[in-house]
Structure 1
């Protein structure tokens, strides 16, 4: 496919959701209203996200897979000449998988919402916010200018705030405020770091800054260190890195199902992507200095997230399943940060693979939890595991089987997507970059290994409690004969749930059995970033 066609596909993927968001707020044309105007706007959301997903697939097919380290589908236009800010877009082997993942998850969320719209205000606003969120996220992964990256990074905050605050569950207002305050404060510090890089080097162009003999040469070690600390704080909040993670469990618990899917599957990746795209190639000396501390916090986050999940899954703890999966994300993203901190091709490839795997698997888990809440009216683990609770294997076997599959994928079972990223991240820690303390990183690797064992423990407990249920008591009188001992069947997987959730399960298997498909894209680009773009 020629350059112009790829250019149109990438730029169109970023701009089309914004046009669709404006169109969603307008009255539907008479012929498209149908019997229900609300369904018409939800159908509009499915159509727009479907076209964007198709465009990203075409972009992936037309991408020159023989040269994944080269920026492709580039657009480079002057925007604010006085500040040297340009509209510079492009994708390589690092960003292309994230662009496709974003478009896929948003499309699946739109399909799910068409059949299961969350309770709240007008669907018009819901669809418009979903599309603005998609545009901002795609832009974050596609822009190659530091100021545009910041604007795109911030663009997603407002729609996610409203999705939580207006369509969320209990405690949604407090959770939405906590989300936006944490991320905004982190972003203010990040902006200072990005401005420091741009002012000291004379350019905001990320491609030019990534080359050894380019503007990066103007950045002294002190400037790099200050910049990576400032930028890193903003990225760490979004990742989220322990101890800057406390907004995440509240946001996930309160968010509607599609909000949780996009928050875990896409928004968390923006932080870790920023480390790979900005901190690693532009401020390598500064990152090298802070890498041991980043790895230490990542290792603590892995163990902390697992221990928090074990505490929530205990009988009588009144743990919430959505909150448990949110804490599991803190642990899983810890592996991503550990891989990045190793500053080795193995570790960074593992981090990028774990990013995609987490988006697929945790997105599926949040969809399943939303389905459980629709069926049983609760995500409280004690309720789901009680004598009148889920017992999915007996009451909805296909649903239970898919939940068990997602859980074992999340714990990193070999042959599924969750295994490769975490293993490669630990390999990276086993032999970190030159100049990094190997004993320290071996300690971090050991902590990460402990985290994998704890992860297996809590996820298997979740499967046992929800899929097998509590011990059914025998009826003590004829009036109880139709009670818990003969609990009625639950609605098993519906057609629209197969459509929205099936692709994630299939891709989890494919990525686990054929990791070279993804690693073949990321590895050349990572090698080039670590080599200073030479």
Structure 2
């Protein structure tokens, strides 16, 4: 296990840097004018730190926590500040660190003034714009710190605290910077998330009192193998965690907050929300639900598999029926998360490994789709797909990047979605052939909702309304180029990610199939 300097984990540094810079940008007025370049430089530094972390990661021990740090926090409750990453935590930290600078560059001019602010006073408008942009950058950097913290958390209570704290920046990113119905969407997101969080808090408390002697480090994940409890108690605690994670994921039937949030949020916020934050739900299922409650997870797996299959089909069908482009992308994610959850609980190491890679692949493809959809709607002034026609003749690069992003989402060979979806279906077929057959319907639906959307927007006679629309500029091409390169890399050469995630996949599959003897 790599050593850390004086007991200080580099993960702690990666958490603190964006959080401190966010506070400075928000609280120091002279820095507000430079908020965007400061935020971008900070996010690139964090990305470089995450890459350095990956370079020092011991792949041979990928199923064990590395770069660990433990410090007593609330000893009377058994809570510690504990961080460390195994293979899955590492790739999720890398995903978060990659997408934040991409979102900052893509949204460089995304934040403007609300109508009526300044009333023609140039100085007042400039000051108000600086204030809004500084707030936007600060919220994204705080969110980055929390995303890294949640994927690195090695204590159950610390995980819960960060899990809940992430609601704050997301609520303001939607409620302040979103569309016309942003307040409704932000409140709906908050209420769903708080409901799940309350269930999880009750389960955390219950786990402490039935746990390992209620010692000062009782909630460390390293203690999970020492916990014994009656099955009924284990099932109740499992449900508390699982429902919270199902809401976050999101799974049917607790998914309804997502389409509203995606429709009203800015493209950058939707990218981080669906591309990274929603993965906390499936991440929590793997690192908390299964190790903490293996017997309950094994018993509940058949029901969860059915819910996952419903999510796959339901999300695909609803996506086909959407007119709003952002809602369409949101419903595709409901379907994709069904594949991820199916792979986690089907009891195959192949499927579990596929699910973990799926989390990364979906993060890349959904980021590309939300951002390129944002580029389109910012130019066209509407998210209604029926308002567009023949855009491939007007904005050729935009049309091409949308198509590539969509093909990655529907798992075309050579792009990021193919390998994980193939592994999930293969592993599912090995265990439950009928479930794999049902899930394949989702593959067909994916082809329909992506290609129908492309046909409606980009083919046919050009729209006179949008005849003068400009194509992607250099900044936007750079953003999409990085994402497409990442999707191609994962599509053609997934070996490094497979090597890191396979050991953990074998461990997780054993928990689902056998629980604890």
Output the TM-score relative to the length of structure 2.
Answer: 0.91
Q: For residues 188-199 of structure 1, what are the structure 2 equivalents within 5 Å? A: 188-199=198-209
Are the counterparts in 2 of residues 42 and 113 from structure 1 also a CA contact under 8 Å? no
Q: For residues 261-276 of structure 1, what are the structure 2 equivalents within 5 Å? A: 261-276=271-286
Matched, 1:446 2:437: yes
1:505 aligned residue? 484
Are the counterparts in 2 of residues 71 and 92 from structure 1 also a CA contact under 8 Å? yes
Are the counterparts in 2 of residues 25 and 124 from structure 1 also a CA contact under 8 Å? yes
Are the counterparts in 1 of residues 72 and 79 from structure 2 also a CA contact under 8 Å? yes
What is the CA–CA distance in structure 1 between the aligned matches of 2:324 and 2:398, rounded to whole Å?
19
Distance 1:374 1:99, change over 3 A: same
1:166 aligned residue? 176
Output the TM-score relative to the length of structure 1.
Answer: 0.88
SS in structure 2 opposite 1:122?
Answer: helix
**Residues 351-382 of structure 1, C-alpha deviations (whole Å, 9 max, x = no match):** 11111111000011000011001111111010
Are the counterparts in 2 of residues 235 and 272 from structure 1 also a CA contact under 8 Å? yes
2:454 aligned residue? 463
Are the counterparts in 1 of residues 388 and 458 from structure 2 also a CA contact under 8 Å? no
SS in structure 2 opposite 1:88?
Answer: strand
SS in structure 2 opposite 1:243?
Answer: coil
Aligned match for 1:207, one of 187, 209, 222: 222
Q: Give the drift of 1:199.
A: 1.9
Are the counterparts in 1 of residues 18 and 43 from structure 2 also a CA contact under 8 Å? yes
Matched, 1:25 2:26: yes
Q: Give the drift of 1:531.
A: 5.3
2:397 aligned residue? 398
Q: What runs of 5+ residues in structure 2 fail to find an aligned partner? A: 115-130, 213-217
SS in structure 2 opposite 1:77?
Answer: strand
Distance 1:332 1:531, change over 3 A: closer
Matched, 1:320 2:320: no
**Residues 493-521 of structure 1, C-alpha deviations (whole Å, 9 max, x = no match):** 21111232221111111101112211110
Are the counterparts in 2 of residues 378 and 384 from structure 1 also a CA contact under 8 Å? no
1:297 aligned residue? 307
1:113 aligned residue? 107
SS in structure 1 opposite 2:363?
Answer: helix
Q: For residues 200-349 of structure 1, what are the structure 2 equivalents within 5 Å? A: 200-202=210-212, 203-209=218-224, 211=225, 215-216=226-227, 218-312=228-322, 319-349=323-353
What is the CA–CA distance in structure 2 between the aligned matches of 1:198 and 1:138, rounded to whole Å?
25
Are the counterparts in 2 of residues 56 and 103 from structure 1 also a CA contact under 8 Å? yes
**Residues 438-468 of structure 1, C-alpha deviations (whole Å, 9 max, x = no match):** xxx4332222101110110111111112221
What is the CA–CA distance in structure 2 between the aligned matches of 1:464 and 1:503, rounded to whole Å?
25
Matched, 1:66 2:45: no
Q: Give the drift of 1:133.
A: 1.1
Q: What runs of 5+ residues in structure 1 fail to find an aligned partner? A: 313-318, 386-390, 433-440, 474-482
1:360 aligned residue? 364
Are the counterparts in 1 of residues 347 and 510 from structure 2 also a CA contact under 8 Å? no
Q: For residues 5-44 of structure 1, what are the structure 2 equivalents within 5 Å? A: 7-29=8-30, 37-38=32-33, 40-44=34-38
Are the counterparts in 2 of residues 118 and 256 from structure 1 also a CA contact under 8 Å? no
**Residues 313-345 of structure 1, C-alpha deviations (whole Å, 9 max, x = no match):** xxxxxx100000000000001000100111321
**Residues 427-446 of structure 1, C-alpha deviations (whole Å, 9 max, x = no match):** 222233xxxxxxxx433222
Are the counterparts in 2 of residues 93 and 522 from structure 1 also a CA contact under 8 Å? yes
Q: Give the drift of 1:66.
A: 2.5
Are the counterparts in 2 of residues 94 and 526 from structure 1 also a CA contact under 8 Å? no
Matched, 1:53 2:47: yes
Distance 1:331 1:119, change over 3 A: farther
2:70 aligned residue? 76
What is the CA–CA distance in structure 2 between the aligned matches of 1:524 and 1:13, rounded to whole Å?
25
Distance 1:131 1:144, change over 3 A: same
Number of aligned residue pairs: 491
What is the CA–CA distance in structure 1 between the aligned matches of 2:422 and 2:233, rounded to whole Å?
34
Are the counterparts in 2 of residues 373 and 379 from structure 1 also a CA contact under 8 Å? yes
Are the counterparts in 2 of residues 56 and 100 from structure 1 also a CA contact under 8 Å? yes
Are the counterparts in 2 of residues 404 and 467 from structure 1 also a CA contact under 8 Å? no
What is the CA–CA distance in structure 1 between the aligned matches of 2:219 and 2:426, rounded to whole Å?
34
Aligned match for 2:469, one of 490, 496, 521: 490
SS in structure 1 opposite 2:359?
Answer: helix
SS in structure 1 opposite 2:4?
Answer: helix
Aligned match for 1:96, one of 90, 95, 100: 90
What is the CA–CA distance in structure 1 between the aligned matches of 2:19 and 2:361, rounded to whole Å?
28
Q: Give the drift of 1:233.
A: 0.5
- RMSD, aligned α-carbons: 2.0
